[in-house]
Amino acid sequence: MHVLSVSSLKGGVGKTTVALGLASAAFSQGLRTLVVDLDPQCDATTGLGAIGVFGETVADVLQNPRHSIVHRSIVSSTWTKLHPGTIDVMVGSPQTQAQDSPSPTIQEIWRLEVALAKVEREYDLVIIDTPPSINGLTRTAWVASDRVLIVSEPSLFSVVAADRTTHALDELRKGLTPRLETLGILINRFRPQSTEGDFRVNELREKYGNRILPQVVEERTVLQQAQGAGRPIHGWPGESAVEISQVFDRILEFVQQSLGQKSPSRIGKNNRKVMRLNRVLRGQTLDEVLKVEASEDAQTSVEGILGLGEDQN
């Protein structure tokens, strides 16, 4: 099982659209796919056609990542009416808003990782849709992830913000979870006819080089239509939908190439180590831990405590 987070610093740039586009590509390829909806707005849950009253949600999982709660928070998407396969969603909740602390504790930061370890054998790919900030929820997602895709509009402002996100990510990787890597910045809502758009993308490529993904997602109304209807873009009629579906296929291919063949095991599986870490660092915030990590004379490396440097197999 591989885990991919889709993030951005700014709201409304297309995280959910990209997360659902990739989920659609994965589902059409027959990958057993789970979407985790960490955004209190729950747009991904809606886009997957999971509307209704749910018993348990991701908010409960973040309180207590127990096996039974994790399983009850996951429902099947109505996308499976189109063709057989596995496309599930860990249901989002407005209650996660209260869990989006700017200074999460080290215990809180591991909870999604521990939860996903419980379903490790059930999915090939997990896609996490995150809220538009790098507070607790997003960092909880990153700690549980192998890769992070950062979505940006084709403007310099947005890419500067996106790049700031990659710095926060680097910090987290160094301090806590070496498995985490950024895939790069994906430009969304690109308008091919606008010369300004072209200029911007070139300017961005010059400045950020290969940190910008080779694929760009164009502005396409079919994306809004499919999302609004709770349907996957791969099942939407018309030429435009086919074209944009192929773009998401290529982005998924890029993700898979980056992930390689080997599936790293969840650290949550190694519960003893997490417990030990929690005991040592209980009550400390993530920021405190990262600060200690950054200082050169740190006696106990978090990495050392977790044994992350060793091969997990």
Ligand X SMILES: Nc1ncnc2c1ncn2[C@@H]1O[C@H](COP(=O)(O)OP(=O)(O)OP(=O)(O)O)[C@@H](O)[C@H]1O
Contacting residue, 5, 7, 8, 16, with Mg ion by CB under 5 A? 16
- Per-residue contact flags (x/-) with ligand X for residues 180 to 209, judged by CB under 6 A: --------xx--------------------
100 binds ligand X (CB under 6 A): no
Q: Does 227 participate in binding ligand X (rule CB under 6 A)?
A: yes
**Nearer of residues 38 and 286 to ligand X, judged by Cβ:** 38
By CB under 5 A, is residue 140 in contact with Mg ion?
no
The residue within the footprint of ligand X, chosen from 15, 32, 147, 200 (CB under 6 A), is: 15
Per-residue mark of binding to Mg ion, 21-60 (x: CB under 5 A) = ------------------x---x-----------------
Candidates 13-21, 76-84, 204-212, 289-297: pick the segment binding Mg ion (CB under 5 A).
13-21
Q: For ligand X, which is the closer residue by CB, 150 or 267?
A: 150
Tell whether residue 21 is a contact of ligand X (CB under 6 A).
Answer: no
Nearer to ligand X, 8 or 57 (CB): 8
Question: Could you tell me how many residues of this chain bind ligand X (CB under 6 A)?
Answer: 20
CB of 185 to Mg ion, least distance (A): 17
What is the three-state SS of the chain? Answer: CEEEEEECCCCCCCHHHHHHHHHHHHHHCCCCEEEEECCCCCHHHHHCCCCCCCCCCHHHHHHCCCHHHHHHCEEECHHHHCCCCCEEEECCCHHHHHHCCCCCEHHHHCHHHHHHHCCCCCCCEEEEECCCCCCHHHHHHHHCCCEEEEEECCCHHHHHHHHHHHHHHHHHHHHCCCCCEEEEEEEEEECCCCHHHHHHHHHHHHHHHHHEEEEEEECCHHHHHHHHHCCCHHHCCCHHHHHHHHHHHHHHHHHHHHHCCCCCCCHHHCHHHHHHHHHHHCCCEHHHHHHHHHCCCCCCCHHHHHCCCCCCC
